[in-house]
């Protein structure tokens, strides 16, 4: 991989699966030319969530976040591309759907604010998680996937998109 070609971790949250929009979300990452190199559907247990959200475990909204993430299965994925970490975050949009621009996944499919979620005592239902930084991406990929679950193949449009 070159300096700019990198991998990022993405999880479609239970609301995305329950709403039946996994395909539409995956399509947005695929059409940008990113390469899907790993994918699985899993129910996240307490331990996995505690590790994944280690920076949030002490926050007031953590209980709501844990309940939300355990409402159903999540679809965990690894995407690869040029500057994949910031590029996927750009396609995903701001954390609070209320702030996310139209054209982003959260801006097009959701509209909830932090205040509303806090008032209801639940996490912001924002459809998708994507790593924030390259180091975080590598840690999250290692947490959610074994090496042999990451696959190699050639996208036929490779010469055009990377």
**What residues are labeled active site?**
129
Per CB under 6 A, which of residues 81..140 are in contact with ligand CMP? 95, 114, 117-118, 123-124, 126, 129
Q: What radius of gyration do the chain's Cα atoms show? A: 15
d(CA 102, CA 125): 17
For ligand CMP, give the closer residue by CB, 134 or 162.
134
CB of 80: closest distance to ligand CMP in angstroms? 20
Angle subtended at Cα 70 by Cα 52 and Cα 142, rounded to the nearest 5 degrees? 25
Residue labelled with tokens 């932090």 = 114
Strands of the chain, DSSP E: 5-12, 35-42, 74-82, 128-130
The reply on whether position 61 binds ligand CMP by CB under 6 A is yes
For ligand CMP, give the closer residue by CB, 38 or 128.
128
Using CB under 6 A as the binding criterion, the count of chain residues that bind ligand CMP stands at: 11
Q: In this structure, what are the phi and psi dihedrals at residue 86, rounded to the nearest 5 degrees? A: -70, -30
Strand partners, 138: none
For ligand CMP, give the closer residue by CB, 80 or 131.
131
Enumerate binding residues for ligand CMP (CB under 6 A).
Answer: 56, 61, 65, 95, 114, 117-118, 123-124, 126, 129
């Amino acid at each position: 991989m070159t300096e700019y070609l990198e991998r990022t971790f993405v999880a479609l949250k239970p609301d995305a699966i329950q709403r039946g929009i996994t395909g539409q979300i995956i399509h947005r990452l695929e059409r940008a030319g990113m390469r899907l190199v790993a994918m699985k559907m899993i129910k996240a247990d307490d331990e996995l969530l505690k590790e994944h959200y280690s920076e949030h475990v002490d926050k007031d909204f953590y209980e709501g976040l844990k309940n939300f993430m355990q409402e159903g299965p999540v679809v965990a994925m690894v995407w690869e591309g040029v500057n994949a970490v910031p590029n996927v975050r750009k396609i995903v949009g701001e954390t609070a759907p209320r702030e996310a621009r139209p054209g982003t996944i959260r801006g097009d499919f959701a509209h909830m604010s932090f205040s509303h979620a806090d008032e209801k005592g639940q996490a912001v239902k924002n459809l998708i998680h994507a790593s924030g930084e390259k180091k975080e991406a590598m840690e999250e990929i290692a947490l959610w996937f074994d090496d042999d679950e990451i696959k190699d193949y050639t996208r036929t449009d490779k010469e055009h998109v990377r």
